[in-house]
Amino acid sequence: GAVVSQHPSWVICKSGTSVKIECRSLDFQATTMFWYRQFPKQSLMLMATSNEGSKATYEQGVEKDKFLINHASLTLSTLTVTSAHPEDSSFYICSARGKGIQPQHFGDGTRLSIL
Amino acid sequence: DAKTTQPPSMDCAEGRAANLPCNHSTISGNEYVYWYRQIHSQGPQYIIHGLKNNETNEMASLIITEDRKSSTLILPHATLRDTAVYYCIVRVPTDSWGKLQFGAGTQVVVTP
């Protein structure tokens, strides 16, 4: 089946640090990639959608200057949390999909803790 | 996207079939039904999807009513590893790049 790899799986860093999370589709070309955030005991919240080679589209309330998304190739998207603060601590999950009616496939998530 | 309604929780016995209902009474003709599950502290896992015909794969079966207003995900022989939150989502697969909006889902607990 389709595999999406997300790295790192967890990260702990100091407040003010910028953190980059990678999302790769390993066995298919991802025309679209998505980034979600999930707080404890809550459902996934879509943050942004990106198509290869174009700017990401952010959901309402998500700061685009805070959460930088790059989708430079059909197999790689990155999310950079800039100047992270404790309130940015969360579980970040990426997903990717190919063309047509193909379903999204998700990475295993990155648990981010900002001290 | 059509709204879905799922029970908040379900218990089922190991080895028995688990039948997970989903109501999507406002579904439109070109919207598909997708099922995902999320095991604790992992990313969601795709299970199955369908438009109007019943579907089966190695993980589960999807039964969609003739009027498409509801569906049932069937896990034929539940195991402890099937304990997860199950999400039913309906949408046009290529609309808005196919983005998914997750609801609260059904917390399924499989007990020995």
CA distances from A42 to A72, A110, B102, B104 (A): 31, 16, 10, 7
Phi, psi dihedrals of residue A44, rounded to the nearest 5°: -70, 140
User: Per the CB < 8 Å rule, is B44 touching A93?
Assistant: yes
Amino acid occupying residue A65: D
Question: Residues A77-100: what's their mean pLDDT?
Answer: 93
Angle among Cα A65, A66, A67 to the nearest 5 degrees reads 100
- Confidence at A114, pLDDT banded by 50, 70, 90: very high
Condensed to tens digits (0 to 9), the pLDDT of residues B61-78 reads: 999 999 999 999 999 999
Residue A91 has pLDDT above 70, yes or no: yes
Q: What is the mean pLDDT of each run of 10 residues along chain B (112 residues)?
A: 89 96 93 94 93 95 96 97 96 72 94 95
The set of residues, in sequence order, having a beta carbon less than 8 Å from that of A65 and lying 6+ positions away, is A82
Residue A76 has pLDDT above 90, yes or no: yes
H or E stretch at B86: strand B84-91
Residue A34 has pLDDT above 90, yes or no: yes
User: Per the CB < 8 Å rule, is A49 touching B49?
Assistant: no
% of residues, chain A, pLDDT over 70: 97
What residues of chain B have any CB closer than 8 angstroms to a CB in chain A? 32, 34, 36, 38, 41-46, 49, 87, 93-94, 96-105
User: Per the CB < 8 Å rule, is B45 touching A101?
Assistant: no
What is the average pLDDT score of chain A?
92
To the nearest 5 percent, what fractions of chain A are helix, strand and coil? 5, 50, 45
Question: What pLDDT was estimated at residue B24?
Answer: 95
* Cβ atoms of residues A115 and A12 within 8 Å: yes
| DSSP notation for B27-70 | --TT-EEEEEEE-TTS--EEEEEESSS-EE-SS-EEEE-TTSSE
Cα separation, B61 vs B72, whole angstroms: 8
Residue A103 has pLDDT above 90, yes or no: no
Determine the residue among A49, A62, A106 to mutate to test chain B binding: the one whose Cβ has the most chain B Cβ atoms within 10 Å: A106
Q: B19: distance to nearest CA of chain A, Å?
A: 22
B98 Rama class: left (phi>0) / alpha (psi -120 to 50) / beta: left
- Return the minimum-mean-pLDDT range out of A38-42, A59-63, A96-100: A96-100
Nearest CA in chain B to A31: B97
